[in-house]
Amino acid sequence: MFVDDDQGLTTVKRMDELEVGDWVRSFHGKNEVVKVPVTYWLHRDPDQEAVFVEFSLDNGEKFSLTEKHLIYVGECKVNKSVDINSNPIAADKVQVGDCFYINHRTKETIFQMVQVLAIDRVKKTGIYAPMTNTGNIIVNRIHTSCHSESNIHSLVNTFFESFLTIKNQIAEQIFGKTTTELNISSGFNEIVDLLHLVLPSPLI
């Protein structure tokens, strides 16, 4: 993915090279590309093996996500008035023929559509989910949510930031150090279920 430093220089990093504080690209507002910092990691486990959904795209590239990670899907014809943040679905619900939003290769403020030609399941090692304050991130030029299971960004983000604060308070007292990683993938479904119980249904 593209990472920008404080001098305006752009480099390309793999997901496992990304760090909290790195400035990445994100679609925000009226479908404009903005640069936002990685605030913390929801998941960062380089040793965890998982099943990924691998999409073969009509531009010749491949793109993969874990099964429940959310990605934005839209009509295959470019519509500049559409809200490209309005239809996130889990990767395992994407079908052949669906289209993703992709950042233009040379004009970074423009998005195009790229179509899914084939879908496979593959096992990979390493799970990463960086969080941004917009709730989405551009990965391999593809417009992707930061979330799995639930896209109620402001509520989920507040919940996990509080969770991370408590985790750090405990870790600092016991181990004398803090972290920017939550790594709660094994219990994420249960946490989302809890949010559904404690929040009014119109908010979910």
CB-CB contact of 21 with 38 (8 Å) = yes
**pTM of the predicted protein model:** 0.73
Residue 124 has pLDDT above 70, yes or no: yes
Asked if 146 contacts 135 with a C-beta cutoff of 8 angstroms, the reply is: yes
Query: Is pLDDT above 90 for 149?
Result: no
If you average pLDDT over residues 68-91, what whole number do you get? Answer: 88
What is the DSSP annotation of 166-199?
Answer: HHHHHHHHHHS---SB---GGGHHHHHHHHHHHS
Q: Which residue has the higher pLDDT, 188 or 81?
A: 81
Q: How far apart are CA 44 and CA 183, in angstroms?
A: 6
Average pLDDT rounded to a whole number, residues 154-176: 55
Q: Are 76 and 115 spatial neighbours (Cβ–Cβ below 8 Å)?
A: yes
Residue 26 above 60 pLDDT?
yes
Q: For residue range 100-112, what is the model confidence (pLDDT) as tens digits? A: 999 888 777 678 8
Is the pLDDT reported for residue 199 higher than 50? no
Contacts of 135 (CB under 8 A, 6+ apart): 145, 146, 147, 151, 153, 154, 157
Instruction: Tell me what pLDDT residue 70 has.
Output: 92
What domains lie within the chain, and their CATH numbers? 2-154 (2.170.16.10)
Task: Dump pLDDT digits (tens) for 39-61.
Answer: 888 878 899 999 999 999 999 99
Residue 194 in this model has a pLDDT that exceeds 50: no
